[in-house]
Structure 1
Amino acid sequence: MSALGVRGRGAAGVGLTVERDAPVVQRLFNPITAIWLVLVGVFAFSALVVLGTYERDLRGGDDGGAHALSRSAVGYAGMAQFLRDAGQTVVISRNKLSKGHAEGLLIATPPLDGKLADVKALNFGGPVLLVLPKWNAFPDFLRRGWVGEGRPIDLTRLDKASLLGGYAPARRPGASPATLFARGDVFGDSLSFRTGPIDRLQVLQTKDLIPVLQDETGATVLGRDPKSNVYVLSDPDLLDNHGLKSVDNALAGARIVETLKAGDGPVLFDVSLDGFARERNVMRLLFDPPFLAVTLCLFLAACLAGFQAACRFGATRRAGRVFALGKEALADNTAALIRLTGREHRMGLRYAELTRNLAARATGVPRELTGDALTRFLDRMGAQRGAEDRLSELTAIIGGAANREQVLAAARRLFRWRLEMTRERQ
């Protein structure tokens, strides 16, 4: 039976095995996919670091809190916009001010656990309007920036050491308008103006403040701290968004702000006491000018180092034996022995002689020339070819070398001289 017949019958199912191709070995990872994974990982990590550094600055602040960035009922964004529309310069302050800044008015709206010392630590030299808290309101989880139905803070459970408890506040029942009368020379004794309806007007009963505005019952609504330039406003509904639903409340709050403001400075709404302070730290320095240039240089250097590590330069070095054999191992061991005994500089003359013989053979020097005669001949030939050094001088230098560094320097000059003589550079 011929081989052709056997292959044919085997293919027909007689029972002979047909040879198959070798299995294809697939790569575990596609290089392109691996590169994309690395790039996406680096980008995600860099974005996480940058967003974590500027997280407070990127927040809009409309979180339902009682501060000038909030548009909720207990916020003060409405009064800030109302003052802008009235021609006032309004600034949202996130940092402590530099000392000596006394123009304008600083409006501080600290939380319930705030302290008067924190307000004084803002370093504002001009008048400060401290607005006391009144409402207990929590953010609405269904609508961002909104708050649920708020209730007044329970005055019976206040700590006297707290900011609100230290001024002994009280509240009028119901919701009704109030008439505010000026006391002292801040507004003028004859001034009075009426507010809109205020739900449970909050007043001050403490004797530690000098009355500036009082209601018709004689209770203090706006008082001044005699030890500082801090004015305390008892009820936030004269400034917050909840109270601005009445035009009279908006006008009354704007009148208080315009009267207390010193000079032509701006109206500053502080939000640092509410958790929106822009603090300086090491991470911010890395991304703020002028240190941003250093960060970019370091990033580019890291990218270049990663690129160099990922790309191969030259052929792969083959792994050798643990104990090398042959002439190469003998030469390496001999060199190590010479290095160990510190006699490397004694080999300089032998290297000079080897270099001279190689140069003579490459340039076709007559064979009968040897020793000093050969050296003088090569010196004359080197002068004709424009060599920088003379062989005789280099031989004397390498022969007088006293350590490894000197013999290496002379050997480099000898090697360069040989290249100039043999024209191997060209």
Structure 2
Amino acid sequence: MAKPAAVKKTLGQHIGARIGKASGWLPAVAAFLCLCLFAAAAITLFDVNSVPKTGQKANATGLSAQGTAGLRRLLEARGHEVIVNRMEDGPLIEHGDLEIITLDDDGGTLTYAYHFDSDDTSSASSASVSSASVSSADAASESAASASVSASGDTDDETGNGATQIPDPRRSKHVLRQPLGKVVLVVAPKWNAGPDPRNRYWDRGPTLVAAANVVDSLGFLSPVSEVPAPKDDKQAVARIKASPPGTQTVRNGDSLVTFDLVSYVLKRDTRALSAAEMEAAANGQKDLPLKHLWTFKPTAEGIAFAAPVSVGAITGLQSITGPNLQPVLTGPNGEAVLSRVIVTRGRPQPKAPIYLLSDPDLLNNQILADPQKVVAALNLIDTISPPANKPGRVIFNLTFNGISTDHDLLHALSRPPFIAVPLCLLIAGLGLMWAAFSRFGPAREAPVEPPLGRGVKILADNAARLMAITLKEVRLGPAYADLVRDQVLKDKGYRLGVNAESPDDLAERLGQAQKTTDSFIDLKARAAKVMTVHQLIDITLKLHAWKTEIQRAHT
């Protein structure tokens, strides 16, 4: 019976022979880890500026029905150069022909609430009241089939404390003075889209944005100025009370913000089909018109559309009017769907034409379900775009949706032209890794019994290197010939210096007697004339062959 130790040893040898040494895996494991490290660096570098993909969002990244990601793909398919901008400003920001700004239900990036003190309550309240534009006649004219809301951007919070929604001065300056396109299209918000507040893994059903929130988000379409506030509170209050007519000045920290009190009127068509119309639609009858089918017509002073724009069914058509809006495209009842933004009271007009699209359903992902709406959307884009460049460069500005990028080192290094620096470092790192693995392989085993010994080998190597450095190795030809000659004469029994003949003549005579291939005198003469190392090697080989022929004949 075999002993346990012997069985264990035999089994270990068998497994080792089958699997191999574990040290053989180390190069592969090291290479895999290095590649993973470089892959992680590359992903971080290229993903930092990628376009985010969101689900239930009413902006250019949204993949739901309320988003406009489908419009980006349509424009790319038509040949437009589509750029998604997430940078606020800076030298690397890109410009194009058309800038599209989609406003979602997140108004925090466009306005911020200002809570006034008791000293400012009277002025703020009076300004709010004076800016209201809904008269009793207007309210009476609105039927139950439509909803109308007017606001100036001033609201009261639930606690009863006065609050004013101040437009963001940066957004106003960007749109009116520093746009990214030759034409700017602003898409008003309409739908609440996002995760369910009770369960963030669910998407809530689409609901209409509060009309007051829509109006508040449009405050940046008018000039907004921001100046440092005086240190003296009395001077600050005096400036607030001295605001020009139609404007309001409020104090926000260390600044005084002055903005227009614009009265926007928002209407939504809430007419529902009657039972007869629903039955007629179900039976396929065409004699009864469906009230939610829309065909828009351009106004006389607006831009030139080729023909009336038929967009089909739209749920709750939203229209917005205001003193700084000139209708360009209207519905059958005068609903302003597309308007030109102007600056009132004789002030400088915007640097580029600005258009406000009241209803986002003309451009969002819902149009993908109807070819007629797709054609209408593309016709709208082509009409307002600059005539010189079609298809041109379209920029979707995401900074108005609160998903802008910071100007840090990582973002700077991941954009041209600075992206060349990390790319060169990655390539250099991969090259160094390849060179390391190609140069250093498995350890070479040293011979058990070196023939010359380590010391002799080192001395020979050093001598060879020294001779190579001095470039005098070609002069060793005659000395090697004399060495070969002396070895042959010694083997034959001749004693040097005793014979009457010279050593060269004696070697030549031995060669003739043995009928060697080459003559020794000739080989020695040629050895004295070598000029290169290759010639020296050739002559030494011939001398060695001459010696071998004489020794074989002797044996």
| TM-score, normalising length: structure 2 | 0.44
Alignment match of 2:440 (pick from 309, 325, 329): 309
Give the structure 2 partner of residue 257 of structure 1: 381
Aligned residues of 1:352 and 1:395 also touching (Cα < 8 A): yes
Which secondary structure state, in structure 1, belongs to the residue aligned with residue 301 of structure 2? coil
The one-letter code matched in structure 1 to 2:201 is L
C-alpha deviation, 1:303, in angstroms: 3.8
Deviations 1:205-242 (A, max 9, x none): 448xx664578789894216766553322535253438
Q: Distance in 1 between matches of 2:219 and 2:510?
A: 103
1:37 aligns with 2:160: no
Q: Distance in 2 between matches of 1:333 and 1:256?
A: 84
Larger relative contact order (CA 8 Å, sep ≥ 6): 2
Aligned residues of 2:68 and 2:363 also touching (Cα < 8 A): yes
Alignment match of 2:201 (pick from 142, 149, 172): 142
| Change in 2 beyond 3 A, CA 1:327/1:251 | closer
Deviations 1:87-124 (A, max 9, x none): x936461379xxxx99xx735236756633897445xx
Give the structure 2 partner of residue 418 of structure 1: 540
Deviations 1:361-382 (A, max 9, x none): 469899566567589999999x
| Change in 2 beyond 3 A, CA 1:334/1:230 | closer
Q: Distance in 2 between matches of 1:345 and 1:192?
A: 91
| TM-score, normalising length: structure 1 | 0.53
Identical counterparts, % of pairs: 11
The one-letter code matched in structure 1 to 2:479 is E
1:270 aligns with 2:428: no
1:116 aligns with 2:175: yes
Aligned residues of 2:265 and 2:322 also touching (Cα < 8 A): no
C-alpha deviation, 1:174, in angstroms: 5.7
C-alpha deviation, 1:272, in angstroms: 6.5
The one-letter code matched in structure 2 to 1:45 is L
The one-letter code matched in structure 2 to 1:182 is T
Aligned residues of 1:352 and 1:414 also touching (Cα < 8 A): no
The one-letter code matched in structure 2 to 1:306 is F
| Change in 2 beyond 3 A, CA 1:330/1:350 | same
Which secondary structure state, in structure 2, belongs to the residue aligned with residue 142 of structure 1? coil
Aligned residues of 1:379 and 1:390 also touching (Cα < 8 A): no
Q: Distance in 2 between matches of 1:62 and 1:192?
A: 31
Aligned residues of 2:177 and 2:351 also touching (Cα < 8 A): no
Aligned residues of 2:267 and 2:320 also touching (Cα < 8 A): no
C-alpha deviation, 1:414, in angstroms: 3.3
Deviations 1:62-96 (A, max 9, x none): 44455445322542245567889xxx936461379
C-alpha deviation, 1:200, in angstroms: 6.2
The one-letter code matched in structure 1 to 2:356 is L
Give the structure 2 partner of residue 5 of structure 1: none
Give the structure 2 partner of residue 3 of structure 1: none
Aligned residues of 2:327 and 2:340 also touching (Cα < 8 A): yes
Which of the pair is proportionally richer in strand?
2
Tell me how many residue pairs correspond in the alignment: 365
Alignment match of 2:186 (pick from 126, 131, 154): 131
Deviations 1:300-352 (A, max 9, x none): 88546414413345x3389xxxxxx997499589969x97xxx9689986784
C-alpha deviation, 1:182, in angstroms: 1.6
Q: Distance in 2 between matches of 1:271 and 1:279?
A: 18
C-alpha deviation, 1:273, in angstroms: 4.9
Structure 2 portions without partners, runs of 5+: 86-94, 104-108, 111-170, 226-258, 271-293, 343-348, 406-410, 549-555
| Change in 2 beyond 3 A, CA 1:396/1:36 | closer
Q: Distance in 2 between matches of 1:371 and 1:235?
A: 116
1:239 aligns with 2:370: no
After superposition, residues 9-88 of structure 1 pair within 5 angstroms as 30-31=22-23, 33-55=25-47, 61-79=53-71
Q: Distance in 1 between matches of 2:502 and 2:60?
A: 98
| Change in 2 beyond 3 A, CA 1:89/1:351 | closer
Give the structure 2 partner of residue 187 of structure 1: 304
C-alpha deviation, 1:279, in angstroms: 4.7
Q: Distance in 1 between matches of 2:510 and 2:324?
A: 109
Aligned residues of 1:107 and 1:130 also touching (Cα < 8 A): yes
Give the structure 2 partner of residue 176 of structure 1: 269
CA RMSD of aligned residues (A): 6.7
Aligned residues of 2:341 and 2:355 also touching (Cα < 8 A): yes
